[in-house]
Structure 1
Amino acid sequence: MRLRLCTFNIENLFTRFDFSAFSDDRSARYLPPIIQFYGEFGDGDLTKFEDFKRFVQSAAISQDDDRRQHTALAFAEADADIYCLQEVDSHTALMRFMDAYVKKIGVDPYPQLVLHEGNDRRGIDVAAIARDIRPVMSRSYADVTPGWVRRTDSGKALLESYPKAAEAAKKLKGSAARIFRRDCLELEVRMGGKAVNLFNCHFKSMGGGRDASIGMRQLEAIAVREIINRRFENPENALWAVLGDLNDYRLRIAISTVPDDEGRYKETIKVLDSDEASGVDPLLDEGFGKNMLEAVAEADRWTHYYSGQRHKTQLDYIIASPELSQRVEGSPRIIRAGMPIRVPNLDVARYPRMGWDRPKASDHCPVVVEFDV
């Protein structure tokens, strides 16, 4: 039986406007660029504030409508049985997106929708949506703490193996003790009498610097690995996969700043050395899980372009158990037709009306892998 999986960070799927962004510098980064251009409401005349709010909302809705049409095209191109999605505001936001955009493309309905409220202070959650397969169980692990990890010998051993994660765990105290910055959402589906368990994650971002935040991502990865260790008597023989935006890489493609005579930029592949850490290490070390994109050539193994440092990296993963990885069908796909025109050396046909920076489908590429279970 075919099981086609997709992970996709659909980038800030909101049905609300966060006006605190006008007074909070960190939140301001997530304002639509057109709103940032118009600046702050600061003339002191509060009688005009409701008019200003309507103006801002209208501008944001107009810009978001273009983007969501492209997001829907990328969603449809993936043609997955189950999507694990990141950066979803709510059930309502996802249902409206499916009805207003995806349905109009002619995609079959996806009646199964799962979302649990997680820990992200901006309210972006992980969600899952399925077409012909009904999940028999879903569970949020948003409340997992370092103390929970330390309850078993395997959890203690993992923390000892990753000192940066152990250091991050020590800093989590009181109400902030929850490990997952968003959530780890587990789905169990049954196909042909077999159980397949999916773990949808969105790890801590690299905001503030990769080195400063890597311990937190490793701690999240350790928590996921420990969940799997406790979930299955023999994890290597079970059918499971970790999907999501894990916000770290093991390979970086650096892009030069000067084009050649044909307008292309030199790309240099840098694989992390054995002594260089990554936030995804605990899920891949010792063959615990397998990164399905390792089947793709290194030069094509990227899902995100960061213009600030001009590099392409894989931030989005489908990591399968050793058993499930043996059941892969065909080659993994990375869908890039929704990436903005500014991404260098990307020779793919874009969706209609794609912009230099926006509109775009997302700042992440959907990743699709098919299994025969």
Structure 2
Amino acid sequence: MRLASFNVENLFSRAKAFDAEDGAAARKALEAFAALNALIAEAEYGEADKDRMHGLLETLGLERSDDGEFVRLRQNRGEFLVRRRSGVLDIVARGRGDWTGWLELEREPVDDTAMRMTARVVRDVGADVFGIVEAENRPALKGFSDTILPLADGEPYAQVMLIDGNDPRGIDCALMTRAGFPIASMLSHVDDTDDAGLVFSRDCPEYRLDTRGGRLVVLVNHFKSKSGGSQASSDRKRRRQAAAVARIYGRLREAGNGLVAVVGDLNDTPPENADDPLAPLLRDTDLADISELDGHDDGGHPGTYGGSTASNKIDYILLSPALRERAGASGVFRRGMWPGVRPVKWETYPEVDPRQGGEKRHAASDHAALWVDLDL
């Protein structure tokens, strides 16, 4: 069987802030979005809280309207705020119990050509079991499999499963499987906590599959990105997530599960030191990175994101010892990625090839797909 992992960066719609031309303004808006969401969830709003809310609302462009460039305020029942004719914005709610509503990110359709490029990548990788990162929801991923994939001469997947995670932006972790690899059970870790609080930015779902070679457990991950907050806080969050996945992996092994794979976008490079964010998972367990397998084909580029330099190696397929023994060929698939222009770094589909008039906006994703063949 072939196991693969791919960050598709959404399929049908994507938060406008993710692809804004003014990256600094978009990052500022995303940070304000997260901060304001946390504040409005409080049971009581003190004066200091309301002052902070005022500033965040202005940052989000919501002082005059519920619709900002990147974020929309939903006030369904009760009142959170009142905009006076004098121009004063007055937060009238005393706490979460006074109103029903939320913030949501403004979305825009994904480029149609980019969607078709994503389908081509999935078709050409040809995986029997495909870990998917950044899918909006299960209906979207199911629609992609059943409708868009056949338009690219691909075969729909027999099972498409996704558990909604903790991120409100519609970037969840999912799994698609062929008929010979049924999903026997699933387990979510959205509520896992450690001493510092909630662990996973999205989730670390466990998908248990029946194969001819035995029960295979696939953990699909999407760790905290390097944007949003300070580098130190982002590093700490990813280290906590790496440690949590390592604990889940350890429990699976202790319970007798020998065939375990960890796949997804870990948003950091392989650790060089014991204090690096991914060290608990890549240094302190017996999991093997497929990039270390004999004959692994990375196309001459060590990274998996953007320009695919070593500093952009952030996507992984990690194998337990029993899986490593059953591993054959492995590689990185980049034909759907923007290849640069001077000169192009790798061969792509014509729609993404600048030598043939292709454009960066038509790329399937900024990430490459990873794959490995396993004797199962």
TM-score norm. by structure 2 comes to 0.69
Matched with 2:54 is none
Note the 1:1-373 alignment, pairs <5 A. Answer: 3-15=1-13, 25-26=26-27, 60-61=108-109, 64-132=111-179, 133-146=181-194, 169-170=195-196, 177-192=197-212, 194-208=214-228, 210-233=231-254, 238-250=258-270, 273-274=272-273, 277-295=275-293, 296=296, 300-305=301-306, 312-330=311-329, 332-342=330-340, 346-354=344-352, 355-373=358-376
Deviations 1:211-269, CA, capped at 9 Å, x for gaps: 4411111111111111122223277x71101000000002xxxxxxxxxxxxxxxxxxx
Q: Distance in 2 between matches of 1:69 and 1:115?
A: 21
Q: Distance in 1 between matches of 2:207 and 2:341?
A: 34
Is contact 1:339-1:365 (8 Å) kept? yes
Q: Could you say which structure has the higher helix fraction?
A: 1
Is contact 1:238-1:321 (8 Å) kept? yes
Structure 1 residues 136 and 28, CA gap change in structure 2 (3 angstroms):
same
Cα deviation, residue 8, structure 1:
0.3
Deviations 1:312-342, CA, capped at 9 Å, x for gaps: 5211100101121111012x11011111132
- SS class of match (1:136): strand
Is contact 1:108-1:131 (8 Å) kept? no
Is contact 1:9-1:244 (8 Å) kept? yes
Cα deviation, residue 347, structure 1:
4.1
State the AA in 1 paired with 2:205.
L
Deviations 1:96-153, CA, capped at 9 Å, x for gaps: 222332111222220201111100131311111111211101111111000xxxxxxx
Is contact 1:184-1:201 (8 Å) kept? yes
Structure 1 residues 207 and 117, CA gap change in structure 2 (3 angstroms):
same
Identical residues among aligned pairs (%): 32
The higher relative CO (CA closer than 8 Å, separation ≥ 6) is in 1
State the AA in 2 paired with 1:183.
D
Equivalences, count = 294
- SS class of match (1:370): strand
State the AA in 2 paired with 1:138.
M
State the AA in 2 paired with 1:121.
P
Structure number, greater radius of gyration: 2
Is contact 2:288-2:321 (8 Å) kept? yes
Structure 1 residues 118 and 45, CA gap change in structure 2 (3 angstroms):
closer
Structure 1 residues 329 and 95, CA gap change in structure 2 (3 angstroms):
same
Q: Which moved more, 1:85-94 or 1:344-353?
A: 344-353
Cα deviation, residue 89, structure 1:
0.7
Structure 1 residues 116 and 9, CA gap change in structure 2 (3 angstroms):
same
Q: Distance in 2 between matches of 1:179 and 1:15?
A: 27
Cα deviation, residue 14, structure 1:
4.1
Q: Distance in 2 between matches of 1:14 and 1:281?
A: 35
Q: Distance in 2 between matches of 1:78 and 1:228?
A: 26
State the AA in 1 paired with 2:335.
A
Q: Distance in 2 between matches of 1:196 and 1:86?
A: 19
Unmatched segments (≥5 aa) in structure 1: 31-39, 50-58, 147-168, 171-176, 251-271
Is contact 2:135-2:173 (8 Å) kept? yes
Matched with 1:164 is none
Structure 1 residues 179 and 14, CA gap change in structure 2 (3 angstroms):
farther
Cα deviation, residue 45, structure 1:
11
Cα deviation, residue 20, structure 1:
12
Is contact 1:249-1:278 (8 Å) kept? no
Q: Distance in 1 between matches of 2:319 and 2:26?
A: 38
Deviations 1:65-102, CA, capped at 9 Å, x for gaps: 11101111111111000111011111121122223321
Q: Distance in 2 between matches of 1:336 and 1:201?
A: 20
State the AA in 2 paired with 1:304.
Y
Deviations 1:259-316, CA, capped at 9 Å, x for gaps: xxxxxxxxxxxxx6436x4322111214521111123478532101269xx8652111
Q: Distance in 1 between matches of 2:174 and 2:297?
A: 30
State the AA in 1 paired with 2:348.
R
